[in-house]
Amino acid sequence: MMGPPTGTGTLGRRALLKSSTAALALAALLGRRTHAAGTPWADRPATRVDRLNFVVWTYGDIYTKISKKFADDWVVPVDATISSFNDHPTKLITMYAGGETIDVSQSSPFSFPNFITQGLVEPLDGLPGADEYQKDFTDSAKQVAVVDGKLMGLPYFSTVWVWNYYTDLMEKARFEPFKTYDELLEQCRKAKKDGICDYPIQWVAGVGLEQLPGTWYQLTWNRGGVFFDKAGNQQLGPGSIARETLKWWIQTFTEQLVDPESLRVQFTTSAKAFCAGKNIYRGPNHHYGLNIINDPKQSPIAGKVKAMGSPGDGKTIGATSVYFLCSANRDKEWAWKLLQYLGGRTKDGAYTQAENLARDAMLGSGYASVMKSTAVTEGWKPWGEPDKILEIWDKAIYVGEMCNSIYKPWHFPWSDRINIEVQKALTGQITADQCCDTLIAAIKEVQKS
């Protein structure tokens, strides 16, 4: 049975409005699709895949969102294998060696040359849109992602090394942020003597690729030194700035100005430990630690910690981590599509992941356009002062410029030696001279092996 008639047979005003609205909506949808079609990030690959996967290290909840977006946009499910930062190379390599399929993975700048040497990384040159991405890269991103003239990855995030200080203890001690390293020592001695705190500085000196070595690199670069010159000659010999810096660093331990947990903490654990409010300064490390320390849900001292630049001309170091297309992928076109979701643009043409990382996690980007966008200038505000951090950002060089062994596959095993020998020096088992001499000798060993 048919329902009652709804009209007289002619187009009424209401029906006209309805049909016009529907037509406009359809036109808008089609228009958008037409606009997106033909752009490298919006075209569907000609091949078919049942699913895709990526192997990454953990950072909050960032991968749930982007995986869902990919599955919604392309109706292809994405499997994620996620491990801790330090375990990531192990996980990735064992999967690769075991013959498993890996479409996309990621790397810190410190391990990327090694992954390339192992044959894990597929060059991106010639893939649709690759050139456009490169044009938007920051200098730091270029130096990591472009290897021997070939594009090998897309940026995950960028960071610079900054100092942190706890304003409550600073006020209590009547200190101003230090301007020289001597002033820092004086402040720490005074704070300890006056009972402001037992251990004024917390260093990030736990074992890792960027943790303990990164602190030494930063302190050395800020004082005008390098680890290797442009020709690749080590600069750790007697009288070198790196060696003198290490002597100064050891002094902070000898005088018991340093939180003993410093030798164990990584970036995140250090931020969490600083939340206890027991230290005045947190040594130079990744800028985004503030998103923990100044988060009221995680920190009892939220809002009371500020970022500051380094002494002198404020020179500091920075780094960019990358996503890469794994040579063990199941389908290059689809893997490239997934790689763009993680390290480039999504179907709508936006840098969705990079912008989310800035807004949700205070991470910097390897794309110049994102760094200038409100995702950074406004998105970082809940945890820190974006202008101040961006000022420090402008004084940063990519760490590979002052320690160009990072571009060599042997840098990773040499880092192992740095971790061992420097921790021995910081705990008084050997001197700075012995430490540096051992590290110089170790360069030849790791190059040979």
Partner 1 sequence: MPAAPKRRGRAELSAGKLGVVMNLPTLATLALVLAYPIGYAAYLSFHKVTPAELRRGVFPSVGLGNYQRILSDPLFLLALKNTLVFTAVTVVVELALAIAIALLIDQRQVWTSRVTRFLILLPYAVPPIANGLIWSFMYNFDFGFLNRLLFSAGLIAKPVNWIGDPNTALFALTVPYIWRTLPFAVLLVHAALQGINPELYEAASVDGAGAFTRFRHITLPLLVPILVVILVLRTSFAFVVFEEVLAITQGGPGDATWVAVWYSYKRSFAPPFDVGIGAASAYVLALIIGALALAYVTIIYRRIE
Residue burial 19-41, b: 16+ Cβ < 10 Å; e: rest: eeeeeeeeeeeeeeeeeeeeebb
Taking the least distance from each CB to partner 1, the nearer of 121 and 338 is 121
Report the amino acid identity of residue 406: I
Q: Please count the residues of this chain forming the interface with partner 1, following the rule CB under 8 A.
A: 38
Instruction: Using the structure block, give the residue that is written with the tokens 């599955």.
Output: 71
Q: How many C-beta neighbours within 10 Å does residue 153 have? A: 31
Residue among 105, 37, 28, 6 nearest 349 (CA): 37
Q: Which amino acid is at 73?
A: D
Closest distance to partner 1 from the beta carbon of 256 (Å): 10
CA–CA separation, 240 and 238 (whole Å) = 6
Residue 252 near partner 1 by CB under 8 A: no
Stretch that binds partner 1, among 27-35, 165-173, 233-241, 256-264 (CB under 8 A): 256-264
Does the protein bind partner 1 through residue 260 (CB under 8 A)? yes
**Residue choice 298, 369, 429, 434 for contact with partner 1 (CB under 8 A):** 429
Cα(324)–Cα(213) distance, integer angstroms: 24
Share in percent of the chain as helix, strand, coil (round to 5): 45, 15, 40
Separation between Cα atoms, residue 269 and residue 146, nearest integer Å: 32
CB of 351 to partner 1, least distance (A): 30
Q: According to the binding rule CB under 8 A, does residue 261 interact with partner 1? A: yes
Q: Counting contacts by CB under 8 A, is residue 409 touching partner 1?
A: yes
Among 6, 8, 10, 449, binds partner 1 (CB under 8 A): 449
| Contact predicate 106/100, CB 8 Å | no
Exposed/middle/buried for residue 443 (C-beta within 10 Å: 0-12, 13-18, 19+): buried
Nearer to partner 1, 128 or 409 (CB): 409
**What radius of gyration do the chain's Cα atoms show?**
26
Q: Is 418 in the site for partner 1 (CB under 8 A)?
A: no
Alpha-carbon distance of 256 to 426, in angstroms, equals 11
Of residues 229-248, which lie at the interface with partner 1 (CB under 8 A)? none
Q: How far is CA 194 from CA 172, 188, 200, in A?
A: 10, 10, 11
Q: Which is nearer to partner 1, 18 or 444 (CB)?
A: 444
Alpha helix positions (H), 55-145: 62-74, 88-97, 112-117, 130-135, 139-145
> Of the ranges 10-18, 127-135, 362-370, 423-431, which one interacts with partner 1 (CB under 8 A)?
423-431
Q: Any contact of residue 412 with partner 1 (CB under 8 A)?
A: yes
CA distances from 229 to 143, 168, 263 (A): 17, 41, 28
Q: Which stretch binds partner 1 (CB under 8 A): 85-93, 157-165, 215-223, 307-315?
A: 85-93
Query: How do 154-166 and 305-308 pair as beta strands?
Result: antiparallel
Q: Determine which residue in the list 65, 223, 264, 304 makes contact with partner 1, applying CB under 8 A.
A: 264
How far apart are CB 61 and partner 1 at their closest, in Å? Answer: 22
Q: Please name which of 444, 448, 423 lies closest in space to residue 435, comparing C-alpha atoms.
A: 423
Report, in Å, the least distance between residue 190 CB and partner 1. Answer: 20
SS3 state at 360: helix
Q: Given candidates 128, 404, 424, 437, which one binds partner 1 under the rule CB under 8 A?
A: 424
294, 310, 316, 419: which one contacts partner 1 (CB under 8 A)? 419
What binding mask, one character per residue, do residues 184-213 give for partner 1 by CB under 8 A, x or -?
Answer: ----------------------xx------
CB-wise, 208 or 311, nearer to partner 1? 208
Q: Is 443 in the site for partner 1 (CB under 8 A)?
A: no
DSSP designation for 96: H
Q: Is 305 in a helix, a strand, or coil?
A: strand
Of positions 20, 298, 427, 447, contacts partner 1 by CB under 8 A: 427
Rounded-to-integer distance, Cα 345 and Cα 347, Å? 7
Q: Whole-number minimum distance, CB 139 to partner 1, in Å?
A: 26
Site string for partner 1, 297-336 (x = CB under 8 A): -------------------------------x--------
Nearer to partner 1, 350 or 440 (CB): 440
* Euclidean distance between CA atoms 308 and 165, whole angstroms: 8
Q: Give the footprint of partner 1 on residues 112-141 (CB under 8 A).
A: 114, 118-120
Q: Which of residues 279-298 bind partner 1 (CB under 8 A)?
A: none
- Binding to partner 1, residues 96-115 (CB under 8 A): 96-99, 111, 114
Residues near partner 1, by CB under 8 A: 89-90, 93-94, 96-99, 111, 114, 118-120, 206-207, 259-261, 263-264, 273, 276, 278, 328, 409-410, 412-413, 416, 419-421, 423-424, 426-427, 429, 449
